[in-house]
Amino acid sequence: MIKNHPFSNFLSIIVEKSMFFTVGIYLILVAVMEVVNLYGNVIYGSLGNAVLIFVAINHAAWANKTLLQRVLPAVALLPFLRLLSVVLPVPGWPSQVAYILVALPLLAAISIILYNNGITLAAIGLQCSSWKTQLPIAFTGLPLGFIGYLILRPQPLFLSTGPLMWAVNLIIILFFIAFTEEVLFRGILFRVLSEINGQFASVSLAILYACLHFGSKSPIYAIYMGLVGWLFTRFASQTGSIWGIVVANFLLVAGMGLFWPMLLA
């Protein structure tokens, strides 16, 4: 059959390598802009991210490969996230509001990409899975958050002055940090990058997840979070669900940002 012809196999290899190169360049540029934003000039970094979004979206629109049309808009979500985090927070407003303002347009953009590409919620891991599998994954957030706290020793993420504020802060961490982050990284990005290559998706997302934590100014912590991102991606790959990972992320962030600073400071 034609599909087994050596020349056909050769062409498929060429196409795959070309896809690796194209998407890899975009991911490298995302990482570079992250470094520029955090260690260089925020204005230059923001302009670079805006240009990167424009180029990626237009490249996807003109691409004759259906895969690139799915991958590049999803990759553009990363510079979009950084732009939102720079532009939307308003000085003097509670920090909780900033997370909500960033998460809502990001989730809206993800929804548009899913709809345009016919990707279901189940395809990005928002599907039911055995609690016997998801529960152990969820509880990994406790030791992971404790280790992260010991590495970074952060200040409390939010001020929690009473039961109501504790509840509000936990809800914000669950929905606007943990859920949003996992839908982005272990959801849509892992889904589309896996269409190129599963191992490529795992490694590249681990590196990008580490880059997202450069703002901590701790290289050890950034590397640690890259390893956490790789572990979470493995969980998503093996179970096909991200619900346990969302809870794990929630426990990690809530532990590092609320509980451990209060208990161990």
Residue ranges of the chain whose pLDDT lies below 70: 1-17, 65, 160
SS (H, E, C) the chain: CHHHCHHHHHHHHHHHHHHHHHHHHHHHHHHHHHHHHHHCCHHHHHHHHHHHHHHHHHHHHHCCCHHHHHHHHHHCHHHHHHHHHHHCCCCCCCHHHHHHHHHHHHHHHHHHHHHHHCCCCHHHCCCCCCHHHHHHHHHCHHHHHHHHHHHHCCCCCCCCCCHHHHHHHHHHHHHHHHHHHHHHHHHHHHHHHHCCCHHHHHHHHHHHHHHHCHHHCCHHHHHHHHHHHHHHHHHHHHHCCCHHHHHHHHHHHHHHHHHHHHHHC
Q: What is the pLDDT of residue 16?
A: 52
C-alpha angle 10-15-20 in degrees, rounded to nearest 5: 125
pLDDT, tens only, 6-49: 544 444 444 456 778 888 899 999 999 988 888 778 888 899 99
